[in-house]
Chain A
Amino acid sequence: MKLSRRSCLAGGGLALVGSALARAEDADDKRLQNRLELWANYAKRTNNLLARLTTTRETSLMQSPLVVTGQLVFQAPALLVLRDDGLSGSTTLLDGGTMAILPNQPTGRAGPALPRDRWPAAAWLADRLVALFAPGDGAAIVADSRVEVPRGGYRLDLLPPRNSEIRKVLRSVTVHLDAVAGAVTEVLIAEAQGDRVRLQLADHRQNVAAEDITRVLDEVNALRAAVERK
Chain B
Amino acid sequence: MIGCDAVHDGPPPPAATDEDGPGHALSLRRWARRRASVVIGLWLVLSAAAIAFAWIWGPGVPIEGRIEALLPEGDRSATDEPLVLLTLRADAPADRASSDTLLATAAAIGDRLGDERVPLAPPAGEAAAWFDAHALFLVPDDALDDLKVRLGDEALSAAVEGLRARMSSPLFGVGADEPRRDPLGLRETTRAVSGPFGQVDSLGKARATASGDLVDRHGTAVLLLLDSERPVQAVLDDVIAAIGDAPVDATLVGPVHVERVAREVVRARSLQVAAIALAALAMVLAAALRRVRATASILACLASAIAVVLAFVPTIDAWSLPMLVLLAGFACEGALHLQRISTRGWPAAAVLATALLPLVLAPYPAWRVWGWTWAFGIAVAVLLLRLVLPAIHARIGGEVSWANRGFLWHAMPVTSVLLSGAILGAGGWASANIRHRGADRIALAPIDAAQRRLVEEFFDPALVVRATSTGTDPAAALETTAADARVLAELVPTHASRVDSPGSLVLRTEEIDRRRAALTELALPTRMLTLREMLESRGFRADAFGEFLRTARIEDAPRAAAMLDGPLGPWLRRYRIETTEGAAFRSFVHLGPDPEAELPRPVAADGRALPLRGPAAAARRDRDEFRDWLGIYALCQMWLGAFIVWVGTRSLTIAMSAAFSTLVTQCAVLVAMAALRLPLGPTVLPGILLVGAAATIAAGRACRAIDLQRPLFATGLIVTSLCQVAAALALVASDVPPWRQLGIVVVIGSAVASGVGLFVAPGLCRALRRFARGEPPPPADAEGGDE
Pick from B397-405, B514-522, B537-545 the stretch touching chain A: B537-545
Q: Is the pair A60, B175 in contact by a Cβ cutoff of 8 Å?
A: no
Interface residues of A in 104-143 (CB under 8 A from B): 104-105, 107-109, 111-114, 117-119, 121-122, 125-126, 129
Q: Is the pair B162, A103 in contact by a Cβ cutoff of 8 Å?
A: yes
Cα–Cα, bound, A214→B162 (Å)? 26
Cα–Cα, bound, A153→B648 (Å)? 106
B510 within 8 A of A: no
How far apart are B151's CB and chain A's nearest CB, in angstroms?
14
Q: Is the pair B169, A92 in contact by a Cβ cutoff of 8 Å?
A: yes
B179 within 8 A of A: yes
Q: Is the pair B175, A90 in contact by a Cβ cutoff of 8 Å?
A: no
Q: Is the pair A62, B539 in contact by a Cβ cutoff of 8 Å?
A: yes
B177 within 8 A of A: yes
Cα–Cα, bound, A44→B534 (Å)? 47
Cα–Cα, bound, A60→B219 (Å)? 29
A82 within 8 A of B: yes
Which residues does chain B contribute within 8 Å of A189, judged by CB atoms?
A: 170
Pick from A5-13, A25-33, A35-43, A159-167 the stretch touching chain B: A159-167
Q: Is the pair A164, B159 in contact by a Cβ cutoff of 8 Å?
A: no
Pick from B62-70, B98-106, B736-744 the stretch touching chain A: B98-106
Type the 1/0 row for B187-200, where 1 means its CB is closer than 8 Å to any CB of A.
01000000000001
Which residues does chain B contribute within 8 Å of A90, judged by CB atoms?
A: 165-166, 168-169
How far apart are B718's CB and chain A's nearest CB, in angstroms?
62
Interface residues of B in 134-159 (CB under 8 A from A): 158-159
Q: Is the pair A122, B540 in contact by a Cβ cutoff of 8 Å?
A: no
Cα–Cα, bound, A114→B170 (Å)? 13
Q: Is the pair A165, B175 in contact by a Cβ cutoff of 8 Å?
A: no
A199 nearest in chain B by CB position:
B170
B171 within 8 A of A: yes
Which residues does chain A contribute within 8 Å of B164, judged by CB atoms?
A: 66, 88
B205 nearest in chain A by CB position:
A117
Cα–Cα, bound, A164→B98 (Å)? 6
Cα–Cα, bound, A170→B174 (Å)? 7
Cα–Cα, bound, A189→B540 (Å)? 21
Q: Is the pair B171, A103 in contact by a Cβ cutoff of 8 Å?
A: no
Of the candidates A61, A99, A112, the one whose C-beta lies within 8 Å of that of B180 is A61
Q: Is the pair A113, B171 in contact by a Cβ cutoff of 8 Å?
A: no
Of the candidates A57, A114, A193, the one whose C-beta lies within 8 Å of that of B175 is A114
How far apart are A55's CB and chain B's nearest CB, in angstroms?
5
Of the candidates B97, B168, B219, the one whose C-beta lies within 8 Å of that of A55 is B168
Given contacts A104-B165, A163-B100, contact A125 B170 (CB under 8 A): yes
Of the candidates A62, A113, A117, A193, the one whose C-beta lies within 8 Å of that of B176 is A113
Interface residues of A in 153-205 (CB under 8 A from B): 162-165, 169-170, 187, 189, 191, 193, 195, 197, 199
Cα–Cα, bound, A101→B169 (Å)? 7
Of the candidates B101, B158, B161, the one whose C-beta lies within 8 Å of that of A163 is B101
Q: Is the pair A105, B161 in contact by a Cβ cutoff of 8 Å?
A: yes
Q: Is the pair B98, A59 in contact by a Cβ cutoff of 8 Å?
A: no
Cα–Cα, bound, A112→B200 (Å)? 13
Q: Is the pair A101, B172 in contact by a Cβ cutoff of 8 Å?
A: yes
Cα–Cα, bound, A184→B168 (Å)? 19
Of the candidates B161, B162, B219, B544, the one whose C-beta lies within 8 Å of that of A165 is B219
Cα–Cα, bound, A89→B540 (Å)? 16
Of the candidates B158, B162, B173, B185, the one whose C-beta lies within 8 Å of that of A191 is B173
How far apart are B194's CB and chain A's nearest CB, in angstroms?
13
Cα–Cα, bound, A103→B163 (Å)? 9
Cα–Cα, bound, A66→B539 (Å)? 9
Count residues of chain A with CB under 8 A from any CB of chain B. Answer: 50
Given contacts A61-B180, A164-B98, contact A114 B171 (CB under 8 A): yes
Given contacts A61-B167, A82-B170, contact A88 B161 (CB under 8 A): yes
How far apart are B201's CB and chain A's nearest CB, in angstroms?
8
Cα–Cα, bound, A103→B98 (Å)? 37
A86 nearest in chain B by CB position:
B165
Q: Is the pair A57, B165 in contact by a Cβ cutoff of 8 Å?
A: no
Which residues does chain A contribute within 8 Å of B540, judged by CB atoms?
A: 61-63
Q: Is the pair A61, B541 in contact by a Cβ cutoff of 8 Å?
A: yes
B94 nearest in chain A by CB position:
A162
A121 nearest in chain B by CB position:
B174
Q: Is the pair A61, B165 in contact by a Cβ cutoff of 8 Å?
A: no
Cα–Cα, bound, A53→B545 (Å)? 29
A64 within 8 A of B: yes
Which residues does chain B contribute within 8 Å of A66, judged by CB atoms?
A: 164, 167-168, 539
B24 within 8 A of A: no
Of the candidates A103, A109, A193, the one whose C-beta lies within 8 Å of that of B173 is A193
B625 within 8 A of A: no
B201 nearest in chain A by CB position:
A118
Cα–Cα, bound, A111→B183 (Å)? 11
B165 nearest in chain A by CB position:
A90
Cα–Cα, bound, A59→B170 (Å)? 12
B166, B177, B539 interface centre (most CB from chain A within 10 Å): B166
B95 within 8 A of A: yes
B452 within 8 A of A: no
Which residues does chain A contribute within 8 Å of B539, judged by CB atoms?
A: 62-64, 66
Given contacts A63-B541, A108-B162, contact A191 B174 (CB under 8 A): yes
How far apart are A56's CB and chain B's nearest CB, in angstroms?
9
Cα–Cα, bound, A122→B179 (Å)? 16
B621 within 8 A of A: no
B174, B179, B218 interface centre (most CB from chain A within 10 Å): B174
A91 nearest in chain B by CB position:
B169
B650 within 8 A of A: no
Interface residues of B in 580-609 (CB under 8 A from A): none
B541 nearest in chain A by CB position:
A63
Q: Is the pair A101, B171 in contact by a Cβ cutoff of 8 Å?
A: yes
B217 within 8 A of A: yes
Q: Is the pair B541, A62 in contact by a Cβ cutoff of 8 Å?
A: yes
Cα–Cα, bound, A90→B177 (Å)? 14
How far apart are B493's CB and chain A's nearest CB, in angstroms?
18
A213 within 8 A of B: no
Cα–Cα, bound, A41→B185 (Å)? 44
Cα–Cα, bound, A118→B201 (Å)? 10
How far apart are B218's CB and chain A's nearest CB, in angstroms?
8
Which residues does chain B contribute within 8 Å of A122, judged by CB atoms?
A: 171, 174-175
11 contacts between A and B (CB under 8 A): A57-B172, A59-B173, A66-B168, A82-B170, A90-B168, A92-B170, A112-B175, A114-B176, A119-B174, A125-B171, A164-B219
Known pairs A88-B161, A92-B169 / 12 extra A-B pairs, C-beta < 8 Å: A57-B172, A84-B165, A88-B164, A90-B169, A107-B158, A111-B175, A112-B176, A114-B176, A119-B176, A125-B171, A164-B99, A189-B170
Which positions in B face A, CB cutoff 8 Å? 95-101, 158-159, 161-162, 164-177, 179-180, 185, 188, 200, 217-219, 539-541, 544-545
Q: Closest 10 interchain pairs by CB? A: A163-B98, A112-B176, A68-B168, A90-B165, A92-B169, A121-B174, A191-B173, A122-B174, A101-B169, A122-B175
